[in-house]
Structure 1
Amino acid sequence: MPDSVFTAYEKQIADLHGIVPGADTLRQQAFKTIRAIGLPSVRSEDWRYMDLSPVREAAFDPAKPAAHAPAIPPLVDEAAARLVFVNGRYSEDLSDLGDLWQAASIRPLVNHFMSNEARVGELMRGNDAVTLLNTALMRDGMVLSIPAGVEIEEPVLIHHIMTQSGRTAVHPRHVIELGEGSTLNVIEHFSGDDDAYWTNSVLQARVSEGAVLTHTHFVEDGPNALHTGQIHVSVDAEGAYRSMAVSLGGKAARFEAHVRLLGEEADATIDGITLAATGQVHDMITRVTHAVPNATSDQVVRAIADSRGKTAFQGKVRVDRDAQGTDANQSFKALVFDRTGEANAKPELEIFADDVKCGHGATVGQLDEKALFYLTSRGVAPVTARQMLVEAFTADALVRTAPAGLAALIRDRIEAWMAARHDRPIPKADDTPEDAPEETH
């Protein structure tokens, strides 16, 4: 990396001095590690499918406040609260806390640590350069603490909107704490204009005993945007983390889920849908660690690549030596519309226990020619037949975790995405790529 990149980020860190109380030392420690390891390239195993050269070659400027309030995209009809961040800054005017503030603690990141700076040590620093850069440059975010036994039925919406930003970056950091037996549903939505901005978000969460966190990471960034999003979750006994990642927008978008199951009967459900149009790259990474006995995890990811679109899934399940009775599964399936589309899969199992049930499978293919013929021969229009098959293909990953209203909106987005590709030729049987067999341990 050029020295000018480090110099630019060093100045940005200095300009953030005191913004998040108590975080200045944490920033310096993170940046020191970045200098030592550098930002990743395609030579890094975890980044082999996504090129971060725009980030390595020149520093992104910090985004400035928006001159005008943007429109807020509709997501669901009812919400417990709506939190809006415009160009990385929390907008009190556009946000609506509803009645949530009466049931839970909800406050901006800067206010959370103002009364007790020592708690800033609870912020995860990370061990990769992209997360570390978020730690070094975080400016705003939200802290949600749900008391024990409190169940928030309607979802909490977090909108990230970029507008008139130019080549700038934002590094939001959110913290979620669930008390014992509590429940929370969070929907993060990312959108923006045509500028070449970068959103680098991190959400860290602690799910206490018997609590349930449902989380949706929905990327609809502008066509020239770069998106890197991460969630780091620890789950205690009988707790559950349910995740849905949907990636439609951006020029290049990457979502990472890092989950540690720390109590018996803890559960993680991680689902994903990626649609890569021409020139788009969508990358999904999962890292699930079973640290104790009798915990479960299940992953279902569905990907579609148009001509010259690229998707990738890298999923790793680690079962520690003491984690007997683990039940873990991964399922990745991808459709490519022609030979210029690309779907990559790298499922991994790292097992150190003996009494486990673990399996993973990866399949890459094209729309079924026989199924298309069957539907069209019965009067179904070709474009409708394609939409029906794709909707059925993605349903496995959509129905388990997404709220009903949001699931309907995502289905509409998939239908519109397919309608824009109505002229794609029906694949021939001999064009179908190879399938990777399922493995069970």
Structure 2
Amino acid sequence: MLIAFKVNNFMSFADEQKLSMIPSLEGPGFISLNNIKLLRAGVIFGANSSGKSNFIKAMAFGKDMALSGISGRFRNKFSRVALENQNKESTFEYTLYSNGHYYSYGFSLVFYKGLFTGEYLYELTEDDQEILLYERKGEEISYHLELNEHARTILSNLKEKILKSGLILHFVDELTDPAFEAFRNIASWFRNKLNIYFQDQEYLLLESDPLRHRERYLHFLKMFDTGITDFEEQKLDLSILETLPLRVQERIRSRLDCPGNMSFALRLSDALYSINRNEGEVEIYAISFRHHNDFAYDFEEESDGTKRLFDLLDIIISPVPNAIYLIDEINRSIHPLLTAEYLRLFKGSLRENNVQILFTTHEVSLLREDLIRRDEIWFMEKQADASSRLFSLDIFKKENQNNLSSSYLSGKYGGVPLFTDEEK
């Protein structure tokens, strides 16, 4: 679960921007987690080029750096709205819930130099206390953990690697002692609970196999008026996997390395595959679709909106417990009424699940308090210097809830396009 995220000096975010999933209002629709209340949803509205997609990119980029490090090709990811930002630190901080604990984990770096300059991990208590577990400042590393001899030896052996690579999370698989549970919880959250869907994502592994969950998929596809009435499957030779991009092959191999029987799906831009393993035997099927006739249609022949629905329905059918799903431009290729219905479906069918959704949109018809809580609504606005500013609707005085969209379009809340009158 996500509690909050902060970022500064990244892309269009020159100054620190923060999004919080802690409710500021009473009322239904929140998640209760060990006496802590969290919002189930967050929505970022904004004009084109306002920076709302950059916020999702910031969370994704922070995840990648925490797990894998930084490449020199990203040296210009600092906020280039001002020249002096080139040599300033950039900071990413995630406040989160993982495996029964609350944490605040963050790190800083100078993009232009490709150097990590700091890292920290706090455990948060339910009475708002912060317990520092780990901190790195430059070349200095300090631990505030109860360490036995085995744990101390591990850290001693890792110190030089950490200073060279930058972050302790890069070596989490070597932190095998029970004393390092907090680091493993953070890495597990990044790997398994922070799920990110971009607009033109080349591929996605779906938790729910449409063939195994045929009835539910067909029910929802009918609800969303796709015209699909049934699936057809064609068994393929496993050699088909060798034709996929290497990064896709690696993801599939990593998934199949997990023990036990399993089934999942691979969604490409032009194909949908069912992959399952039963008693050690792996099978793969290509899925095609029947409509209201006798012909089958391949996945690549379906509309962009139908393809996007498979990504979104996977969240409903097989939600990962305690996960958050970040979706950039949720309404892309999908009718506004269907987007609203999906949001109702998410909040209704998953109200017993601890699952969150955070998405960006410029679809004003979603700006309704009968659909989204007031404290779930955020706006992104481009400033005069081209930097982005994130702010909550909650900073404005509450008015008639039916006027939210008209107030937004009139510019009262900001986050809308600004047009310049020119002499003709």
TM-score (norm 1): 0.27
Higher normalized helix content (fraction of residues): 2
Structure label with greater radius of gyration: 2
Using CA pairs below 8 Å that are at least 6 residues apart, which structure has the higher relative contact order?
2
Higher fraction of strand: 1
